Amino acid sequence: MSRSFAADERVLEAVAQSSALSDENFAAVCKLAVRLFGSEKQSKRRLTRTASASGWEAEQVEQAVLAIAKILMDGAKDELSERAFRLVLKGMTLPEQHVEVLAQIYEAHAKDIRECVSRETRTSVPHYRNLEWRIDLELGTRFHRNKPKPIVTLRLDTATQPSSSSVPQVQSTCVRVDYDGLKLMQRQLETALKEADSVHCSRIQRYMH
């Protein structure tokens, strides 16, 4: 979990800024973060009211709310205990009282957040199941100048489950790429994984509820 926080500087920046909030205003921001996991949509009026009380712009409060929601979500997904969650928070730039507030909120809502995240992942979006690969390489040729060029064949198995009561549907996709194509795929996947862990992605997920 700590690695995911370190990978997203926007979360760390928003958390660092929230350190300037009073205990009362920080608690209000944390409560707004918890509301993101409920059925009720976030109210702009609440954001504006919290921003006014904090002396912040509404956009700053929203960034803090999304960052804290990301922290709560990661802790719940990893099924961290309240003690382990505290240890993660202490590794961040949060005052001790803010750690106490957020840890108490996590302990009270971790189960509900975990259930919410679990429901959201049961969508029609394909999920990874398995990956198999094979390398084809020409070992002999009459042309001495012809350098061996390995070709990699990938078979990606994904599963789609539209609802919790339906049977997952598995689909296989085959791709043949050379070394340069494989490196390009690697860079794109690394970028996608980093972005999936970002505050921006959390905002998109929020509006998909």
Could you read off the pLDDT tens digit of each residue along the chain, which spans 209 residues? 444 444 467 788 888 899 999 999 999 999 999 988 876 666 778 889 999 999 999 889 988 998 999 899 889 888 899 999 999 998 887 899 999 999 999 999 998 888 887 765 555 677 788 999 999 987 766 665 667 788 999 999 998 876 655 677 889 999 999 999 999 999 998 888 777 666 556 555 554 44
127-136 sheet: strands from edge to edge: 127-136, 151-160, 169-178
Residue 7 has a pLDDT of 43
Does a structural domain hold residue 164? yes
Q: Are residues 116 and 143 in the same domain?
A: no
Q: Are residues 135 and 194 in the same domain?
A: no
Q: Are residues 15 and 105 in the same domain?
A: yes
Residue 199 has a pLDDT of 57
Q: Are residues 135 and 151 in the same domain?
A: yes
Do 18 and 54 contact (CB within 8 A), yes or no?
no
pTM exceeds 0.75 for this model: no
Does a structural domain hold residue 87? yes
Does a structural domain hold residue 3? no
Q: Are residues 146 and 165 in the same domain?
A: yes
Does a structural domain hold residue 62? yes
Does a structural domain hold residue 133? yes
Q: Residue written as tokens 């996590």?
A: 106
Domain end: 76, 96, 122, which one? Answer: 122
Does a structural domain hold residue 73? yes
Q: Are residues 101 and 113 in the same domain?
A: yes
Do 48 and 128 contact (CB within 8 A), yes or no?
no
Q: Are residues 22 and 58 in the same domain?
A: yes
- The helix/strand/coil state of 160 is strand
Q: Are residues 161 and 202 in the same domain?
A: no
Q: Are residues 156 and 170 in the same domain?
A: yes
Domain end: 90, 106, 122, which one? Answer: 122
Q: Are residues 102 and 190 in the same domain?
A: no
Q: Are residues 200 and 168 in the same domain?
A: no
For residue 203, what are the domain limits?
178-208
Does a structural domain hold residue 4? no
Q: How many distinct structural domains can be found in the chain?
A: 3
Residue 16 has a pLDDT of 87
Residue 207 has a pLDDT of 42
Domain end: 122, 139, 161, which one? Answer: 122
Does a structural domain hold residue 111? yes
The Cβ of residue 30 has, within 10 Å, a number of other Cβ atoms equal to 25
Q: Are residues 58 and 141 in the same domain?
A: no
Sign for the CA dihedral angle at 102, 104, 109, 113 comes to positive
